[in-house]
Amino acid sequence: MASSSDTLSLGRDWSRWVAQSKLTTSLPILLFIGLAAIVLLLSQTLLLSSSRSTLDLAIGSAESRLLTTNMYAVEEDIRGTFRWSDGNGQFTFRQIGRGETTILHVRTGPPPPDLVGSDLTISFNNQPYTTIPLDERARLYQIVVPPSAIRFGDFNVGMQSPTITVPPDTRQVGIRLEEATLDIISTGWIWPSIPLVAVQTTLLTLFAMLMRRLHLKFWMVGGSLLLVASVLVIGFNYQTLLFFPYVARLTMALVILLGLTLWVPRLLERHASWLGAPRILHALWGLTVLACLVRWVGSLYPLFSAYDLPLNTDRFLSTINGTLVMTNRSFEFRGGVTVYPPGPYLVLLPGMFSSILPALIVQGGISLIDGLSTLTIAGLARKLGASTRATLFSALIYAVIPISLTSLWWGHTAQIFGQALMAPLAIVLLMALQTAQRRYWWFAGVILSVAFLTHIGVTILAVAWLGLAWVALGLQHTVPRSTWWQFTIMLGISGIIGFVFAYAPVATMKVEESLAVGEQVLEGSYVPAYNLIARAFWISFHPLGILLLLPGVLLLWRGLPCGGAELVGGWLGTVIVFWAVEMYSGLQVRYLVFLTPLACLFAAVLLDQVLRRGHASRYVAWGVLLLISVQSCLVWYIGTFTGVAPSMIPLLR
């Protein structure tokens, strides 16, 4: 619990930051914000006014899933795609442009024969507007929308009709909706809606405040704002129908990042000065913010839903309702039933105090956790003796490493959360081994216990890693015997906690499953998929990253601190062991995800050495970083914006 002096100090920091954020240094920033907002507003106005502004809600599109309610799933016949309403179908156009005249076009297919002659009532914002008799033909209705029907930029259309059941279908169906289009007509300019302009300006303002808080120079803030405004223009042109909710989500994300940026660098200066000078701490936090933004820009896109998001959302809701031990079949154990502890979902639970949807809490929350891991990767690098520049490089590499972004696309929530605990666990263990202070053993025990409550795959990897490190420390005698016994006690207590709270209720089942899997392994004749294993390494860390790993290991190993060789050796040994297990049996425990923190560190150490070799070497090092970053981000954003799945091969081992 924070002391009163800490609270007062944080309060002074808040007051100082507020004062700094006002007019003392903000006049140029205000000008940059105003310029970016004007550029954005005029660009959107030109896009809306250059030709007839038309919003087309294609019923078979992905957007229609989010913009229609009380409609059944998309179907298709010789007329094309359509949806049946349940008698009270609705669709919404969000934050439409402001013109002189708005015309709604609604195309419906032939209704069920028994509904011919009944009335179709069209309502705007839940207020009946007109009633039209249905006949047996497909119809195209064109309606001039009164200005009062558009509320705060949103336009909701309801279509009420009687329903009927057409055997053998048991659904109650009403009208057949095939397309909805909105034309905005004006002899002058068509402007974006006021709420959209307000949210966009808020986003730009928050972004500028965030950049200044990270101590970026004025010209960098101005350039970043214009870049963000340009990206928003492209997004508006690409996805007009869902642009407003997307920008609103990003704005909330910036609020969270700005709040964290207010406190975290100050806390690092007080309690983690070993990371480096204040400017280094701000740089590391800036890279962490970059990692969070890279992930959130993709994961908060309204049409993106991680592959396993429905499954994880169900587990999240089950945890809320009191189910703390969940089981499911897992490919990691040849399709056997395994347990899923509630740890990740309990951490995400406070998000339910907001009005955010559970699915968005899970997807956005795990993206934040993965992004924040960037800072812990840097901390691990520093604790293992890496230079300041290598520490910064390790954070940058993790911010864009392919395997991390691939895990997010596939929605491996529990794995991501559990693996995110490995770097901070290693940091605290190094502190405990080097100082023998009891509080660090307590911290390590808490982190390890939480890791045991996240995912059984993470549990297996952590047990193997720390078991190897424990044996190595006992044999090498690099730490006092009392310290080794403290390590032993910490492992024992954490193991008991994990067993009691996560695995004891299903212990019998797991023993039976393990025996069954063992019989399959012994009876089967597994042939290793050499090409897939090689491709997994290739895709996970990029070919250039792989070339950097082995030399990086050798460079780092020479300067490892007390306990570092045992922890790093145990970490690498665990990867080798489970690689061998896969080669022999085909059982997979995602050891490549486990290797990721060290892979980033090894690559960073080598790049740091390359930079020391002369002026030309700088171009090589930065070129490697740029290539990895661009390629990883392309795969991530193509996956989130277009639905093209990145290869899952790295996540299968």
Q: What is the pLDDT of residue 515?
A: 55
User: Side chain identity at 603, as an amino acid letter?
Assistant: A
Nearest to 449 by CA among 485, 421, 481: 421
pLDDT of residue 24: 43
Q: What is the mean pLDDT of residues 271-290?
A: 92
* Cβ pair 370, 626 in contact under 8 A: no
Q: For residue 542, is pLDDT > 80?
A: no
Q: By the 8 A CB rule, do 239 and 52 touch?
A: no
Q: What is the 3-state secondary structure (H, E, C) of 34-87?
A: HHHHHHHHHHHHHHHHCCCEEEEEECCCCHHHHHEEEECCCEEECCEEEEEEEE
Q: Is 106 helix (H, G, I), strand (E, B) or coil?
A: strand
> Domains in the chain, start-ordered, CATH in brackets?
55-181 (2.60.120.260), 243-514+528-652 (no CATH)
Which of 189-198, 319-328, 332-341 ranks highest by mean pLDDT?
Answer: 189-198
Amino acid 323: pLDDT:
78
pLDDT recorded at residue 4: 45
Looking at residue 218, its pLDDT comes to 84
DSSP 23: I
Query: What local confidence, expressed as pLDDT, does residue 519 receive?
Result: 56
Q: Residue type at 76?
A: E
pLDDT (mean) for 39-64? 84
Query: What confidence category does residue 7 fall into, taking pLDDT thresholds of 50, 70 and 90?
Result: very low
DSSP for residue 146: P
- Please tell me the predicted confidence (pLDDT) of residue 586: 65
Mean pLDDT of 108-114: 89
Q: What per-residue confidence (pLDDT) applies to 584?
A: 73
State what percent of residues in the chain have pLDDT above 70.
89
Average pLDDT over residues 413-434: 93
Token look-up 């502004």 returns 53
Q: How crowded is residue 609: how many other Cβ atoms within 10 Å of its Cβ? A: 17
What was the pLDDT predicted at 370? 96
Q: Poorest-confidence range of 200-204, 252-256, 569-573, 586-590?
A: 586-590
Mean pLDDT of the chain: 85
Among the residue ranges 465-474, 551-560, 613-622, the one predicted with the least confidence is 613-622
Secondary structure element (H or E) that encloses residue 512, with its range: helix 507-523
* Nearest partner of 90 among 117, 64, 71, 112, judged by Cα: 71
Confidence of residue 169 (pLDDT cuts 50, 70, 90): confident
Residue 598 pLDDT exceeds 70: yes
Point out the least confidently predicted range of 167-171, 373-377, 479-483, 514-518. 514-518
With vertex at residue 249, the alpha carbon angle to CA 243 and CA 252, rounded to the nearest 5 degrees, is: 140
Distance separating alpha carbons of residues 542 and 623, to the nearest angstrom = 14
Distance of CA 336 to the CA centre of its chain: 28
Averaged over 398-413, what is the pLDDT?
A: 92
Cβ atoms of residues 354 and 572 within 8 Å: no
Q: Which of 97-106, 155-164, 292-301 has the lowest mean pLDDT?
A: 97-106
Q: Note the pLDDT of residue 329.
A: 64
Q: What is the CA radius of gyration of the chain?
A: 28
Q: Report, as an integer, the average pLDDT of 516-541.
A: 65
Please compute the mean of the pLDDT values over residues 573-600 and round it to a whole number: 84
The pLDDT confidence band at residue 22, using thresholds 50, 70 and 90, is: very low
The pLDDT, as a whole number, for residue 520 is: 55
Instruction: Kindly report, residue by residue over 612-649, the tens digit of the pLDDT.
Output: 877 777 788 888 888 888 988 999 999 999 988 888 87
**pTM of the predicted model, to two decimals?**
0.88
Predicted confidence at residue 592, as pLDDT, reads: 86
Q: Which of 212, 307, 207 is nearest to 253 (CA)?
A: 207
pLDDT at 508 over 90: no
Looking at per-residue pLDDT, the higher value among 274 and 506 belongs to 274
State the average pLDDT over residues 479-501: 90
The three-state secondary structure class of 139 is: strand
pLDDT category at 423 given cuts 50, 70, 90 is very high
**What gap in Å lies between CA 622 and CA 627, rounded to an integer?**
8
Give the N- to C-terminal CA distance of the chain in Å, as an integer.
40
pLDDT class for 185, splitting at 50, 70, 90?
confident
Which residues contact residue 461 at a Cβ distance below 8 angstroms, ignoring those fewer than 6 apart? 574, 578, 589, 590, 591, 594
Q: Which residues neighbour 368 within 8 Å (Cβ) at sequence distance 6 or greater? A: 256, 292, 295, 296
Taking CA atoms, 482 is separated from 19, 423, 436, 438, in Å, by 51, 24, 9, 11
**522: confidence class by pLDDT, cuts 50, 70, 90:** low
Per mean pLDDT, which range of 52-56, 64-68, 369-373, 476-480 is the poorest? 52-56
Give 273-281's long-range contacts (Cβ < 8 A, gap of 24+): 274/382, 274/383, 275/378, 275/379, 275/382, 275/391, 276/382, 276/388, 276/391, 279/215, 280/388, 280/391, 280/392
| pLDDT-above-90 percentage for the chain | 42
Give the per-residue pLDDT at 99.
Answer: 78
